[in-house]
Amino acid sequence: MRFGDERESSNFEDATGRSGMGFGGGGGNPLGCLIPLVASRFGIGGVIVLVIGYFLLSSLGGLGGGGGGGNVGPSTQQNAPAGKSTLDPNTKRFMLQVLASTEDVWSQQLGGRYTPTTLVAYSRAYQSGCGAAQSAMGPFYCPTDKKIYLDTEFSDELSRRFQAPGDFAQAYVIAHEVGHHVQDLQGGLDEAHNAQAQASESEGNAIQVKVELQADCYAGVWAANAKDPQGQPVMEQGDLEEGVRAAEAIGDDTLQKESQGVVVPDSFTHGTSAQRMEALQRGYRSGDPNVCKF
Ligand SMILES: [Zn+2]
């Protein structure tokens, strides 16, 4: 992708220097001052559904007593380098330019009826409006606080695990989550949740696949319409193929084959690699969100 001096979005929270504790990990990390803050939110209890594609059921119980222990004292709190970002400046700039571009494109596509989402970058673990966020979950969109949570190690992980390096692959991840925000604004997420409430597990998964493929299609719509300040497309030769390779690498069948050795279609929640590639390409070729309807 060709990004130069494009606008950077201000709808951003850098939590990379404040996250990582309270979930049993982070040994040696002196950021324990955040535990009380995080723990105080655990009174809600119960089970919260996250739109992370897997509809991961995340119980909030049992997290309150997280690590750190005796290290958490007033002096530690004062000395802890809380808030010190661990985010690479180039990564941050690229993410915020992509985010700003999604704001421009969706404002235009939705005729000004677009309210931006906020991107929260965190490291390892953080508390989202939908419960505990952990890097193992991958990036996700939380409809409760209307924010995207992105573990900054995810793009490294993407290139390491899936051989899908490159900037469009990373932009696609953000654009996919913004796609969920668009669904949310249009009532599509609520509709899907309601339909799932009355569906069997496999029917519920099928609904989830549709939601995910639509978000992929929306990512393609964004890419097709992303322009630089001079009105030139930011997508370059080979970019879409790069996104398609990422889509292929993170299809449910591919992931399941890697992890279980077998494919169980009923449990698919994101779609197969072929479906994800098709959805991304469909959105990209047309540039019109109407082709993403399901
Ligand atoms: Zn998704």
Q: What is the pLDDT of residue 75?
A: 33
| C-alpha 14 to ligand 1 mean position (Å) | 21
| C-alpha 204 to ligand 1 mean position (Å) | 15
| C-alpha 177 to ligand 1 mean position (Å) | 6
| C-alpha 291 to ligand 1 mean position (Å) | 18
For residues 186 and 274, give the distance between their C-alpha atoms in angstroms, rounded to a whole number: 26
Which band of pLDDT confidence, cut at 50, 70 and 90, is reported for residue 270?
A: confident
What would the pLDDT profile of 119-128 be if each residue is shown by its tens digit? 999 888 888 8
Mean pLDDT lowest for which of 27-36, 133-142, 144-153, 259-268? 27-36
- The sign of the CA dihedral 184, 187, 190, 193 is negative
Percent above pLDDT 90 for the chain? 37
Q: What is the pLDDT of residue 178?
A: 97
Q: What is the pTM of this model?
A: 0.76
Name residues with Cβ closer than 5 Å to ligand 1, which is an ion: 53, 212, 215
For residues 176 and 217, give the distance between their C-alpha atoms in angstroms, rounded to a whole number: 8
10 Å CB burial of residue 266 (0-12, 13-18, 19+) is: exposed
More confident position, 180 or 66: 180
